[in-house]
Amino acid sequence: MPQKEVDKRDAGNNFCPVCGYPLGNYNPWGDDGKTPTFDICPCCGVEWGNEDYTPESRKEYRNKWIAAGAKWFDPQKKPANWNPEEQLKNIAYETDR
Ligand SMILES: [Zn+2]
């Protein structure tokens, strides 16, 4: 089961597993956590169920996204004073550093 990462997710509080973008009660992996929606994250642009399918691919996509400057897929949704490091704390991400 690719569900080993420690994070703050619970029933009413979902985050993008790649970038930590807050999704409220929308779960990109379905209510059972196993049924990906194949939607695109407005922040990091990951396709849920595709590039985030395993913890390894999740980390790989995340690292690539950060290395490329953490650009928004949908820049209109980017909040003022947005801080990628703060957002990534939502998912207690681990890097290879
Ligand atoms: Zn994302």
pLDDT, one tens digit per residue, over 62-74 is: 999 999 999 999 9
Ligand 1 geometric centre to CA of 1 (Å): 21
Predicted confidence (pLDDT) at residue 91 exceeds the cutoff of 70: yes
Instruction: Give the integer Cα–Cα distance in Å for 97 and 93.
Output: 12
pLDDT in tens, 9-32: 555 689 999 999 999 989 999 988
Ligand 1 geometric centre to CA of 38 (Å): 12
Ligand 1 geometric centre to CA of 41 (Å): 5
Element housing 14 (H / E):
strand 14-15
Tell me which of 97 and 79 has the higher pLDDT: 79
Q: Which of 28-36's residues contact partners 24+ apart within 8 Å by CB, and which partners? A: 33/3
Spatial neighbors of 2 by CB under 8 A, at least 6 apart, are 53, 54, 55
Ligand 1 geometric centre to CA of 50 (Å): 12
Predicted confidence (pLDDT) at residue 97 exceeds the cutoff of 50: no
Q: What does residue 65 show for φ and ψ, rounded to 5 degrees?
A: -65, -45
**Residue boundaries of the structural domains of the chain:** 14-91
Tokens describing residue 28: 């990109």
